[in-house]
Amino acid sequence: MATVPTIALNNGVEIPQLGFGVYQIPADETVEAVTTALEIGYRHIDTAEMYGNEKEVGEAVRRSGIPRDEVFVTSKLNNGFHRRDDALRAFDGTMAALGFETLDLFLVHWPLPTIDVDYVETWKAMEEIYRSGRCRAIGVSNFNPHHLRRLFAETEIRPAANQIEIHPYLTQDELRAFDADHEIVTEAWSPIAQGKVLDDPAVVRVAERYGKTPAQVVLRWHVQRGDVVFPKSVTRSRMEDNFALFDFALDQDAMGDITALNRNERTGPDPDTFDYVPR
Ligand SMILES: NC(=O)c1ccc[n+]([C@@H]2O[C@H](COP(=O)([O-])OP(=O)(O)OC[C@H]3O[C@@H](n4cnc5c(N)ncnc54)[C@H](OP(=O)(O)O)[C@@H]3O)[C@@H](O)[C@H]2O)c1
Is the residue at 74 inside a domain? yes
Structure confidence at residue 102 (pLDDT): 98
Tell me the per-residue pLDDT of 225-263, one tens digit each, with 9 for 90 and over. 999 999 999 999 999 999 999 999 999 999 999 999 999
pLDDT at 137 over 90: yes
Domain membership flag for residue 265: no
Cα 23 to ligand 1 centre (Å): 7
Distance from the first to the final alpha carbon of the chain: 44
Q: How far apart are CA 79 and CA 141, in angstroms?
A: 11
Helix (H, G, I), strand (E, B) or coil at 60: helix
Average of per-residue pLDDT across 202-217: 98
**Of all atoms in ligand 1, which is nearest to the CA of residue 163?**
1
Closest Cα to atom 35, ligand 1: which residue?
Answer: 195
Residue 115 lies in a domain: yes
Domain that holds residue 176: 6-259
Q: How far apart are CA 146 and CA 188, in angstroms?
A: 19
Assign residue 105 the CATH number of its domain.
3.20.20.100
- Domain-embedded: residue 135: yes
Hey, whose CA ends up nearest to atom 14 of ligand 1?
Answer: 190
Ligand 1 atom 41: the closest Cα is on which residue?
233
Structural domains in the chain (count): 1
Measure CA 45 to chain center: 9
pLDDT range class, residue 279, cuts 50, 70, 90: confident
pLDDT in tens, 151-203: 999 999 999 999 999 999 999 999 999 999 999 999 999 999 999 999 999 99
Q: CA angle at residue 12 from 227 to 184, to 5 degrees?
A: 40
CA of 39 to the centre of ligand 1 (A): 19
C-alpha–C-alpha distance, residues 181 and 164, integer Å: 16
Please confirm, yes or no, whether 51 is among the known catalytic residues. Answer: yes
Nearest CA to ligand 1 atom 5: 189
Residue 162 belongs to a domain: yes
pLDDT of residue 278: 87
Q: Are strands 20-21 and 185-189 parallel, antiparallel or unpaired?
A: unpaired
pLDDT tens sequence across 58-75: 999 999 999 999 999 999
Residue tagged active-site, from 23, 42, 51, 130: 51
Q: Tell me the mean pLDDT in the region 98-105.
A: 98
Give 144-166 as a DSSP string. Answer: -HHHHHHHHHH-SSPPSEEEEE-
Report if residue 272 sits inside a domain. Answer: no
209-213 average pLDDT score? 98
| Non-local CB neighbours of 19 within 8 Å, separated by 6+ positions | 42, 43, 44, 45, 46, 72, 74, 228, 229, 230
The answer to whether residue 251 sits within a structural domain is yes
Q: Which of 15, 20, 22, 23 to mutate to test the pocket of ligand 1 (most atoms within 8 A of CB)?
A: 23
3 vs 23, which has greater pLDDT? 23
Per-residue pLDDT at 88 exceeds 90 = yes
Question: Which atom of ligand 1 lies at the shortest distance from residue 233's CA?
Answer: 39
pTM: 0.98
Judge whether 17 lies within some domain: yes
Closest among 35, 77, 42 to 57, alpha carbons compared: 35
154 CA distance to ligand 1 centroid (A)? 34
Q: Is residue 1 scored above 70 in pLDDT?
A: no
Q: Tell how far the Cα of 155 is from the centroid of ligand 1, in angstroms.
A: 33
- Ligand 1: atom nearest CA of 235 is 41
